[in-house]
Each structure stands twice: as C-alpha cells, then as structure tokens.
Amino acid sequence: MNWTAIAAIYRFEMTRFFRTLAQSFFSPVLSTSLYFVVFGTAIGSRIQEVEGVSYGAFIVPGLIMLSVVMLSISNASFGIYFPKFLGTIYELLSAPVNFIEIVIGYVGAAATKALFVGLVILATATFFVDIRIEHPFAMAAFLILSCLSFSLLGFIIGIWASNFEQMSLVPQLVVTPLIFLGGTFYSISMLPPLWQTITLFNPVVYLISGFRWSFYGLADVPIVFSLLAILAFTGVCLAVIGWIFKTGWRIRS
C-alpha cells in the first residue's frame, strides 16, 4: 500500500475543508438551530413526547443522520468529480497508486468531514434539548459506518456523473426523500399500518432506527436488522467500487 499517497490525498482534501472552516462549522450550527426552532418548538409543542422522549430530543438522531448522509455524499462526490471536471485526475491516474488507495484517501476525508459536522450538530443540539446516549459505542459505530458508507456512495456518484446536474440527481431525487420518509422527524409507529409496511422497504429507516436506539433505546426495527442493513449497504458500495476499479469505468479510457 502507498500510505504516503493516501495521506497526501487525505491531507489535500482536508485542506480544502479547513479553508472553508467557518462555513463548515457555522452552516450546520445554523441549520440545526433552525430545525429546532421549526420542528422542535413549533411542531414539538403540539406533539410533546414520542415514546417517553421529548419531541425535540427525539429528532436529534434523525437530524444528525440527515446532515451526515447528505454531507458524506456531497463531500465524496465532489471530491472525485472535481479532478475529473478540472482535468487534474491525470495526476491520480499516472501516479503509482491503485484505486483502493484513491478510494481510501477521498472517502476517508469525506467521512471525516461529515463526522465533524455530525458532532457539531450533536453539540449544538445539547443547547436546545436534554440528550442522553444510552449506547455510546453503538452510537459511534453507527455514525462512523454511516459516514463511510454514504461517502462510498458519494464516490460512486462522483465517478458516474458526467455533469453537475447528474451530481445532484441521486442526492435530491432519491436520498432526500428516503431520509425524510425514513423516520427522521417521526416514529414509524405513528403511521397507519399500511404505510408502516411500505416504510420498511426504505433502507434509511433501519439506519435512523438503529442510530436512535443508540441514544434512547427506542427502535422502529430490531437493532440487528439495522446493523445488518448498514453493513449490507457498505458491502454493496464496496462491491460497486471494486467493479469500477477492475474495469476502469468512467475513469480510464
């Protein structure tokens, strides 16, 4: 393994992040605060509690997951798309690095940035609501696995996309609806029976449910299913990336 190259890619990507640190830090703080004002205060005042947890606290895991998933995808997809767009990918292709090393560098940096923002949101939330974390190791594992797996998805999108429109196609038309309908702001037990069944086909439900379980011990689906779902998703992303690596699809002519 060319660890020096992995470190070089990682450092280069993180430099970009630190260059816009103020934006990286204040943007999630502001958006989280707005979510609390709108959903926590305005709507939450009518809902009171969900399964014994205040509505404001109930939505925290979903809010973190919402930002982490979207940021993981956008960080990783733009990370690899920009070199393609600017033409600087020639350097990656002509360097003594293999695709696994490139993936580790870009996905590692994208996941780190998303993880940072996730922790900022968590810290911001503590100013608004009382949060308890019943299973801290599970919480850390779900958070890190989500950052990594969705960064892998973002990397695939960045390789696949041939223009900026395609870059936003999957996040906006697929991922955002799945997250909003995946129990970010509600428990699926609040839905009518038919919709509860339909919702179980949404993979994000398992992710948010598992993450919320690590906070409050509340889960819409068994925790084992949540863990299997995130591992299966990571496995699928790795398999697709492995195929891209093998064939050079959209990278090497």
Partner 1 sequence: MTTILSIRDLRKSYADGFEALKGVSLDIEEGEILALLGPNGAGKTTLISTICGITTPSSGEVTVGGHDIQADYRAARRMIGLVPQEIALEPFEKVWNTVRLSRGLFGLGKNNARIEEILRKLSLWGKRNNAIKELSGGMKRRVLIAKALAHEPRVLFLDEPTAGVDVELRKDMWEIVAELKRDGVTIILTTHYIEEAEAIADRVGVIDKGELLLVQDKDSLMAQMGKKQIEVMLTEPIAQIPDSLALHNLTLNGAGDVLIYTYDTHADRTGITTLLNDVSQAGLILRDVQTRQSSLEEIFVNLVSGEMA
Q: List residues near partner 1 by CB under 8 A.
A: 2, 4-5, 7-9, 11-12, 15-16, 19, 82, 86-88, 90-97, 248, 252-253
CB atoms within 10 A of CB 132: 9
3-state SS, one letter per residue, for the chain:
CCHHHHHHHHHHHHHHHHHCHHHHHHHHHHHHHHHHHHHHHHHHHHHCEECCEEHHHHCHHHHHHHHHHHHHHHHHHHHHHHHHHHCCHHHHHHCCCCHHHHHHHHHHHHHHHHHHHHHHHHHHHCCCCCCCCCCHHHHHHHHHHHHHHHHHHHHHHHHHCCCHHHHHHHHHHHHHHHHHCCCCCCCHHHCCHHHHHHHCCCHHHHHHHHHHHHHHCCCCCCHHHHHHHHHHHHHHHHHHHHHHHHHCCCCCC
Q: Which is nearer to partner 1, 108 or 210 (CB)?
A: 108
Q: Which is nearer to partner 1, 189 or 247 (CB)?
A: 247
Shortest gap between Cβ of 249 and partner 1 (angstroms)? 12
CB atoms within 10 A of CB 222: 13
Shortest gap between Cβ of 248 and partner 1 (angstroms)? 6
Shortest gap between Cβ of 120 and partner 1 (angstroms)? 23
Q: Which is nearer to partner 1, 4 or 163 (CB)?
A: 4
Q: Which is nearer to partner 1, 9 or 157 (CB)?
A: 9
Q: Which is nearer to partner 1, 101 or 220 (CB)?
A: 101
Shortest gap between Cβ of 92 and partner 1 (angstroms)? 7
Q: Which is nearer to partner 1, 52 or 96 (CB)?
A: 96
Shortest gap between Cβ of 251 and partner 1 (angstroms)? 9
Shortest gap between Cβ of 24 and partner 1 (angstroms)? 15
Q: Which two three-digit tokens encode residue 210? A: 């598992």
Shortest gap between Cβ of 156 and partner 1 (angstroms)? 21
Distance CA 31, CA 172 (A): 18
Paired with 54 in beta bridges are 49
